[in-house]
């Protein structure tokens, strides 16, 4: 500022420029805000356009239906509160609908219904006494006490068999070492070969010790299949054979079963543990078959007319049952 309060020319020009720039900035901001408002309005209009078109189309369709008498009006309007039903029939549709409303309001949500239980009907095969259900094959036979075994004997059998298994394990280990030294592979027989072995001779320690894991499992399956076949033959023959032929047939079955029990005993002495699923199933099958053979019906006086009448076989069958249940835990 100059003396006397007069402004200098340069300073006045700067102030006017600053004011002009400020005005231009405000105008630019106003223009930007106006442009943003226009864009927002356009977006809102675009979003509202489908709704407006849908409303217009709906209105046009309703108007068209009304013009063509296609728009249905409300039928049978109900006037009045729900009406409880009386002794006389309803006078008109309105009274009927009011009674329906009253009944709907008083119907309980939970209804107790008495259902008559009917006895189940068991289907049986014609001409046979066998149950047709598959689960009948797994039914647990109940062995009476006089045909079974005592707990003390079962404990002694289990302990003695465990000791025998430990010795068989040592023999098998020695046989494997000898075979490895001689560069020989362990023997492996299939089920058919074991069937022949079981039918021709008796088991031996040397033969079983030379077998591998798979071969011993094949032996168990083969011998249990053979025992089951004998059981089926006993059941079928007991109903068809004459009394004169029964003794001879039972003698053949007893001899064959005695030999098969020896093979089963030897195979269980050499089987590896833990048992695989297939062997577990086979041992459970062996237990059921032995119990059924023990319970086989005895014709006549029951002394020697069936396999079950042979006390020596009952002892062998109970021996296998104890080994399967007490030693291997397969019930």
Q: Model confidence over 32-49: pLDDT tens digits?
A: 888 888 888 887 777 766
In a domain, 21, yes or no: no
How far is residue 37's CA from residue 40's CA, in Å, rounded to a whole number?
5
Question: 266-315, pLDDT tens digit by residue?
Answer: 999 999 988 999 999 999 999 998 888 888 744 434 444 455 555 677 88
- pLDDT recorded at residue 303: 43
Residue 28 has pLDDT above 90, yes or no: no
Task: Look at 77-91, 154-168, 228-242 and tell me which has the smallest mean pLDDT.
Answer: 228-242
Task: Look at 72-81, 124-133, 248-257 and tell me which has the smallest mean pLDDT.
Answer: 124-133
How far is residue 24's CA from residue 215's CA, in Å, rounded to a whole number?
103
How far is residue 232's CA from residue 257's CA, in Å, rounded to a whole number?
12
- pLDDT recorded at residue 105: 83
In a domain, 2, yes or no: no
Task: Look at 121-135, 162-176, 181-195, 290-304 and tell me which has the smallest mean pLDDT.
Answer: 121-135
In a domain, 78, yes or no: no
State the pTM of this model: 0.53
How far is residue 98's CA from residue 73's CA, in Å, rounded to a whole number?
20
In a domain, 62, yes or no: no
**190 lies in which domain range?**
151-238+252-296+311-328
In a domain, 195, yes or no: yes
Structure tokens at 169: 């394990």
How many structural domains comprise the chain? Answer: 1
- pLDDT recorded at residue 181: 86
Contact (Cβ atoms closer than 8 angstroms) between residue 164 and residue 188 = no
**Residues whose CB is less than 8 angstroms from the CB of residue 178 and which lie 6 or more positions away in sequence, other chains included:** none
In a domain, 187, yes or no: yes
- Looking up residue 213, the CATH number of its domain turns out to be 1.20.58.1070
In a domain, 234, yes or no: yes
- pLDDT recorded at residue 145: 74
- Most confident segment among 171-175, 180-184, 187-191: 171-175
When the pLDDT of each residue in the chain is averaged and rounded to a whole number, the result is: 77
């Amino acid at each position: 500022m100059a003396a006397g309060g007069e402004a200098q020319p340069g300073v006045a020009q700067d102030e006017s420029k600053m004011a002009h720039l400020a005005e231009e900035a405000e105008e630019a901001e106003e223009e930007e805000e106006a442009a943003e408002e226009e864009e927002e309005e356009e977006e809102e209009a675009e979003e509202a356009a489908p709704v407006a078109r849908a409303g217009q189309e709906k209105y046009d369709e309703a108007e068209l239906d009304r013009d063509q008498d296609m728009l249905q009006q409300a039928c049978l309007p109900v006037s009045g509160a729900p009406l409880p039903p009386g002794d006389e029939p309803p006078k008109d549709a309105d009274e009927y609908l009011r009674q329906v409303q009253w009944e709907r309001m008083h119907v309980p949500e939970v209804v107790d219904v008495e259902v008559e239980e009917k006895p189940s009907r068991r289907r049986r095969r014609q001409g046979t006494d066998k149950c047709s259900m598959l689960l009948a094959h797994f039914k647990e036979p109940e062995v009476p006490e006089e045909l079974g075994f005592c707990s003390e004997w079962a404990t002694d059998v289990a302990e003695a068999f465990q000791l025998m298994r430990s010795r068989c394990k040592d023999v098998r280990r020695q046989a494997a070492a000898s075979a490895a030294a001689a560069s020989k592979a362990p023997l492996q027989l299939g089920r058919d070969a074991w069937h022949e072995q079981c039918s021709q001779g008796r088991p031996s320690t040397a033969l079983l010790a030379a077998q591998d894991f798979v071969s011993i499992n094949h032996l168990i399956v083969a011998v249990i299949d053979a025992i089951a076949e004998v059981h089926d033959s006993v059941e079928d023959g007991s109903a068809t054979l004459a009394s004169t032929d029964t003794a001879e047939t039972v003698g053949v079955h007893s001899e064959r079963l005695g030999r098969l029990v020896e093979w089963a005993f030897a195979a269980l002495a050499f089987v590896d543990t833990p048992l695989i699923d297939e062997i577990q199933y086979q041992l459970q099958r062996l237990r059921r078959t032995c119990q059924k053979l023990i319970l086989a019906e005895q014709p006549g006086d029951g002394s020697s007319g069936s396999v079950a009448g042979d006390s020596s076989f009952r002892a062998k069958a109970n021996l296998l049952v104890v080994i399967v249940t007490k030693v291997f835990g397969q019930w």
